[in-house]
Structure 1
């Protein structure tokens, strides 16, 4: 391998791993991603990040389950929030698939600036902390909420799932990825079980250790909101 290419790949790997050490501190995360925004796409591409394509493809396949009335995920006019949109990688795939009603939200303004350049979003909002209830979004606002690369080490706790549920309509979809190392070291399964027991959501599809990034896979979760 060309030494310069290898060096760049090492830098990309290091940037991703450093992001995992941010301990869920919103201020640190925001500052780190503001600085990383310009190089982010190149770095994750170097690490063969395919989570955005995979999670959008999963959304398009979702159907009603056991008589549960749900949003038609194949309808390209549904209103979608890309929560933790970053530079717009998920939004770009949604646009390529023909979805027109996509909004994006992220903690980092630097990342949102990159997302704006994709032309994939109708509305973008920065300063959105998914660990809190955000006044920018009403209850039951979206037909689907998609969240890729956010439930990962050093970022948000599993309970952030509740904010995604809140802003999604009954019968709507919440589709998230959990990096495998994150799932293994948190109580995400416990939270998933609790929200189902409380009647907030129903798990309709679950992909274990699906394609995500070169280093490791991710679990993908598709919940129908009750």
Structure 2
């Protein structure tokens, strides 16, 4: 598990992501999420609910469906999933969480109409070697005016990748707020056990 987590933090390209998560998909939930007490998906889902988020919602970088499951637990549906890794999505599909699943790259244009969803969530995707703030306009494109997107952003990644400047550039397009939460629960062990994430809420401004 520790080796896979370090590999995830060290990713550089979409091809690197595809290769890692292809090999990790079948063991991700047990060997990572359970072992590390991965509480971030529930933090994201709760922030979405508390912000007034409703369905239909798109789960960006859905992986094996941990955030989608949290949304369902909170009574939020329908939920669509997209991820770069088909192998991770195949695991999610087996859980019966999502109403629709498709592969997609947030760093490109998703095969989704403008304003197709009443909101968006993302847990664990805006982090080292994955997706950066350059994807924020695409996130806003796929949600309706007046709706929200709730995204987890690794706290160290926030500084390294210049999220403050990127969010400032969205002035007139979105209103932003954030809080900071632990990524892992009390039983987590290892170098990353105390890592933090910022839960970024973007509200798309009607024009």
2:90 pairs with one of 107, 113, 138? 113
2:27 paired residue number: 39
Structure with more relative contact order (C-alpha pairs < 8 Å, separation 6 or more):
2
Report if the CA contact (8 A) 2:182-2:194 is conserved: no
Where in structure 2 are the equivalents of 1:39-118 lying within 5 Å?
Answer: 39-42=27-30, 43-62=32-51, 72-73=52-53, 75=54, 78-118=55-95
Shift of 1:101: 0.8
1:211 pairs with one of 157, 182, 190? 182
Q: If the length of structure 2 is used for normalisation, what is the TM-score?
A: 0.91
Larger radius of gyration, structure 1 or 2? 1
| C-alpha distance in 2 between matches for 1:117 and 1:223 | 31
Q: Deviations over 1:149-200 (max 9, x none)?
A: 01110111211111111101101111101111211211111101111x2x11
Report if the CA contact (8 A) 1:81-1:145 is conserved: yes
Structure 1 stretches of 4+ moved >4 Å: none
| C-alpha distance in 2 between matches for 1:120 and 1:217 | 27
Shift of 1:45: 2.0
Q: Deviations over 1:98-147 (max 9, x none)?
A: 12210000000000001101211000002x1100112x201111101101
| C-alpha distance in 2 between matches for 1:184 and 1:100 | 33
1:133 pairs with one of 87, 109, 113? 109
Stretches of structure 2 that go unaligned for 5 or more consecutive residues are: 185-192
Shift of 1:219: 0.6
Q: Deviations over 1:8-49 (max 9, x none)?
A: xxxx122111111111x1111112111110111121321121
2:140 paired residue number: 165
Report if the CA contact (8 A) 1:47-1:215 is conserved: no
Q: If the length of structure 1 is used for normalisation, what is the TM-score?
A: 0.83
Is residue 222 from structure 1 mapped to residue 197 from structure 2 by the alignment? no
| C-alpha distance in 1 between matches for 2:124 and 2:34 | 14
Report if the CA contact (8 A) 1:82-1:146 is conserved: yes
Aligned length: 196
